[in-house]
Amino acid sequence: MNHALIRLKYAHIVIYIKIILKMKKKTILIADDEPHILELMKLILNENFNVLTASNGLIVLEIVKKTKPDLILLDVMMPGINGYEICEKLKKDSETKNIIIAMISAKTQEKDIMEGLRLGADYYLTKPFDPSVFEKKINQMLK
């Protein structure tokens, strides 16, 4: 058999495997208006998950409508629609109510945490965070 043909078939198999592996990865939507936080979370999670990002609430709603991610990491304080409003809206919608939502915020007072949980958040993480602990928590959420 021709070596070029073998290499071509091998290349197609490799591409196919990469596509299958990517499809099996869970999808996480990271929503934060601080670019450095967004990039840090993306860097931590990108190897093991399909990662989507949004910098404001309206973009979050559009992405969720189109992709139905497995997990949303949702900042509380964002321009436009804040994280609390997005969480409440998604949890009241039959199409999105089962998506796992983890609020992530510098708002660390008990009243802030309780508000997020009351509105339907499954988890509430605080900033700043330790990257290795953060990654472990995300893995636990998606088991």
The CATH class, in words, for 26-141 is: alpha beta
Q: How confident is the model at residue 4 (pLDDT cuts 50, 70, 90)?
A: low
Ranges of each domain in the chain: 26-141
Residue that is written with structure tokens 């910098």 in the block: 55
Each residue's pLDDT tens digit, 12-66: 565 655 565 556 789 999 999 999 999 999 999 998 999 999 999 999 999 999 9
Does the bond joining 128 to the residue before it have cis omega, within 30 degrees of 0?
yes
d(CA 143, CA 136): 11
d(CA 131, CA 44): 7
pLDDT given at position 22: 58
d(CA 140, CA 46): 16
pLDDT given at position 138: 96
Report the percentage of the chain scoring pLDDT > 90.
Answer: 73
Q: How confident is the model at residue 11 (pLDDT cuts 50, 70, 90)?
A: low
Closest C-alpha to 63, from 116, 55, 102, 24: 55
- First-to-last alpha carbon distance for the chain, in angstroms, is 45
- Total-model pTM: 0.82
